[in-house]
Amino acid sequence: MTNLSTTSDDILACARSLIIAGGYNGFSYADIAEVVGIRKASIHHHFPSKVDLVRTLVFRYREEARAGFAELERTAADPRDQLSSYVGYWEKCIADASAPFCVCALLASELPVLPAEVAGEVRLHFETLSEWLTSVFERGAEVGIFRLSNPPQAEAEAFMAAVHGGMLSARVHDDPKLFGMITASMLDRLSN
């Protein structure tokens, strides 16, 4: 049991799901206060400003993602396995509605109106993600598991784009399986 209060974690978790639903301007301190069961002013005690809150939130998200990639490097058997574990993770998040969208993908869409500090964190996540995917595609091509018609970086970027666009399509059609269909189609082509 940690000696740190769980309230700030509750605030972060709540803010995360509110951002996933409607982005940076889609929620307020009042919304969080109601869900967490705390007064608006008390949130300012934990996070002086909204920028502090969201910057912290994205920073943690980024660290979690990085840890997830490291975990996949250790556990997954080969590049193909790594990719399908990655999309499988998202399929689960979308299907059980626990996190039906990537926080950073959502924030990225409103990047021009985001406070600079938040925008910077979002950009860093995209770099982390595209670097990891590129390394996976490179390894897959080297080992001969993937047959790529384009440079690994281009394939990785296209794959990443399809994942983010897939989240969007699944949201619009309110159909988690659509995400699976799209990512499966992307994975299929890697060895044909």
Q: Which of 123, 135, 139, 141 binds a second copy (CB under 8 A)?
A: 123
Judged by CB under 7 A, how many residues of this single chain contact DNA?
21
Could you say which of 40, 147, 173, 177 contacts DNA (CB under 7 A)? 40
Selected binder of DNA within 46, 55, 125, 164 (CB under 7 A): 46
- Both structure tokens of 39: 């007064």
171 lines the binding site for a second copy (CB under 8 A): yes
Q: In this chain, which stretch among 42-50, 58-66, 70-78, 102-110 interacts with a second copy, using CB under 8 A? A: 102-110
Q: Nearest distance from residue 172's CB to a second copy, in Å?
A: 5
CA dist., res. 166 & res. 177, Å (int): 10
Q: Is residue 80 part of the contact set for a second copy (CB under 8 A)?
A: no
CA dihedral in degrees (96, 99, 101, 104; nearest 10)? -160
- For a second copy, the closer of residues 75 and 165 by Cβ is 165
Could you give the CA distance from residue 100 to residue 28 in angstroms, rounded to a whole number? 20
Helical spans, DSSP H, in 7-151: 7-22, 29-36, 40-46, 50-75, 79-95, 103-109, 116-143
Given the structure tokens 């979308």, which residue do they identify?
94
Structure-block tokens of residue 116: 């600079």
DSSP annotation of 96 reads T
Q: Which residues bind a second copy (CB under 8 A)?
A: 21-23, 25-26, 101, 105-106, 108-113, 122-123, 126, 130, 149-150, 154-155, 157-158, 160-166, 168-169, 171-173, 178, 181-182, 184-186, 188-189, 192
